Amino acid sequence: MYILEIQHLNKSYGNTKALNEIDLHIPSGMIFGILGPNGAGKTTLIRIINQIIDKDSGNILFKGQPLQRKHIGHIGYLPEERGLYKKMKVWDQLVYFARLKGLSASDANKKVNQWLDKMEITHWKQKRIDDLSKGMAQKVQFISAVIHEPELIILDEPFSGFDPVNAEVIKNEILALKERGATLLLSTHRMESVEQLCDEIAMFNKSEKILSGRLSDIKNQFRNNEFEISIQAQYEKEIPHTWKLIAGGPEKTFLVSLENQTTNELLEAAMQLGQIKGFKEILPSMEQIFIQQVKTHSNG
């Protein structure tokens, strides 16, 4: 089942087209990456889903129903521009947001306690937001986006401001939210997070959707027949000059492009050179695919 179906979505600001005929189908229970360079239209799309701004035309269905006000309670949103009340204490703020999202007073208290405990920040609960570091405030904002257990959680650059240890804490929370059945929409420029977390992605450029699908399918689609071969050299045969040495020592590792050969022929050629210690295809990284796609679609 799709939690969100977006059909022919258009949005302009004056003469600037921000979204052009966007179609998107987001299945329930997965982490879906929204990618694209600055100005591609990602924030505009996210704001329309959150009903902060209106679309010009097109349809958005939430679990098969036209998206309406009543769905807001089922959506959690961590915006890129963080918005906490600086003078309020952590505890008061989180209870306030939880109540705003429809939790009873006792549920709100219980959930806030659970989350503060889970994030190991219980000792901050009586601190004012403006006494917190950026990373600490980020944790509070993350809790405020998920405290009401929304079915759809939209996270815009959720790792910004976090040190590597806390980024790992947030990453694990994102995976745990998916595990309990939530759908997550993740907008980020950090391609390594996309590789680690996303099941599917859609990539945007200049208001258009330029690529979408399962991450593994996309990586296969852009494979460039490169192999990493590790060999313990035993024989005196010469290494072909096109093989690029990437690690030395008694065991050597080469990056090799498959040219007019089958994989088996390449493996046979490698076996002539010594004991094979490793042979694997190298798929392009999301970072490489992103850069290549944006260049292609910007020149077209």
Query: Given the complex with ligand ATP, which of 29 and 39 has the nearer CB atom?
Result: 39
Binding to ligand ATP (CB under 6 A) within 44-73 occurs at 44
Chain-centroid distance, C-alpha 18: 21
Residue 13 near ligand ATP by CB under 6 A: yes
- Smallest distance, ligand ATP to C-beta of residue 225, A: 32
Residue 218 near ligand ATP by CB under 6 A: no
Query: Given the complex with ligand ATP, which of 250 and 300 has the nearer CB atom?
Result: 300
Residue 230 near ligand ATP by CB under 6 A: no
Q: Which residues contact 184 (CB under 8 A, 6 or more apart)?
A: 30, 31, 32, 152, 153, 154, 155, 174, 177, 178
Of 69, 47, 292, residue with least CA distance to 185: 47
**Beta-bridge partners for 244:** 255
Which of the ranges 13-21, 129-137, 177-185, 231-239 carries the binding residues for ligand ATP, by CB under 6 A?
Answer: 13-21
Residue 39 near ligand ATP by CB under 6 A: yes
Query: Given the complex with ligand ATP, which of 13 and 235 has the nearer CB atom?
Result: 13
Binding residues for ligand ATP, total number by CB under 6 A? 11
- For 234, list phi and psi in degrees, rounded to 5: -125, -30
278 to each of 251, 271, 272, how far by Cα in Å? Answer: 10, 11, 14
Identified binder of ligand ATP from the candidate list 33, 36, 76, 150, rule CB under 6 A: 36
Residue 43 near ligand ATP by CB under 6 A: yes
Question: Could you tell me the strand order of the sheet in which 152-156 lies?
Answer: 75-78, 152-156, 183-187, 31-35, 200-205, 208-214
Residue 18 near ligand ATP by CB under 6 A: yes
Residue 38 near ligand ATP by CB under 6 A: yes
Query: Given the complex with ligand ATP, which of 12 and 133 has the nearer CB atom?
Result: 12
- Smallest distance, ligand ATP to C-beta of residue 232, A: 47
- Smallest distance, ligand ATP to C-beta of residue 265, A: 44
- Smallest distance, ligand ATP to C-beta of residue 299, A: 18
Which of the ranges 32-40, 105-113, 158-166, 217-225 carries the binding residues for ligand ATP, by CB under 6 A?
Answer: 32-40
Give contact residues for ligand ATP (rule: CB under 6 A): 13, 16, 18, 36, 38-44
